[in-house]
Amino acid sequence: MDSRIADTVAAYDAAAPAYQQAWRQRRPLDAIRKFGGLVGRGGRVLDVACGPALDVRLLRDAGLSVVAGDRSHESMRLGRMLFPKGALARWDFRRLPFPDASFDGIWAPAALQHLPRGQIRPTLAEWRRVQRAGPLFVTFREGDGELEPVEDPPAGTVYATTISAAQLRALLLAAGYREVEVESRPDPLERTDVTWLYGWGRL
């Protein structure tokens, strides 16, 4: 594993409780509502990198059946404390432990950005493998860097790959998604030098 990925996972491990506290009120609520509407009530969705279960309750409140996981051990430990009866597990989202066509949607904000550029397409293909229908939601920081150090308070320095809107659109189309939409969003922490890209695709 790339040492930068290992350092990123370690940073989220160390900050899991503080991260859950800091970000639980800064979730993309409009995206969750849109995602829930596209999936439909009762749909089974995969939250591929849930961190300390930040969006599990919100996705459930949108009427969805949620399976969630993360690579961070401490994030998963905290997530299981918050949702002891939830379907939460620790995994590497590049190799998911599910059969083909298992889910009606993939929820993945700020997940792919922690991979080197060359691993993004294969990982999208893996997610596409386990998805039978419905929407995909991903987010990236806008830019042109590869696993460069960025600040993600309160975790501190993590490593992220940044891309352009055109690159994100091309990635989703190449993965087999249709009705692809990409939009720019301001940073939730109001940092003027950070812009986020919201990417949508549908099967």
CB of 47 within 8 A of CB of 68?
yes
Quote the number of domains for the chain.
1
Model pTM?
0.95
Confidence at residue 160, expressed as pLDDT on a 0 to 100 scale: 98
- Residue burial 173-186, b: 16+ Cβ < 10 Å; e: rest: eebebeebebeeee
CB of 175 within 8 A of CB of 133?
no
d(CA 161, CA 147): 5
Confidence at residue 83, expressed as pLDDT on a 0 to 100 scale: 86
Question: Which domain CATH number covers 151?
Answer: 3.40.50.150
d(CA 164, CA 46): 25
Confidence at residue 84, expressed as pLDDT on a 0 to 100 scale: 79
pLDDT along the chain (203 residues), means of 10: 91 94 92 97 97 93 96 92 86 97 98 97 98 98 97 96 98 97 96 97 97
d(CA 124, CA 122): 5
* Mean pLDDT score across all residues of the chain: 95
Domain of residue 118: give its range: 3-96+105-202
CB of 9 within 8 A of CB of 76?
no
Confidence at residue 1, expressed as pLDDT on a 0 to 100 scale: 63
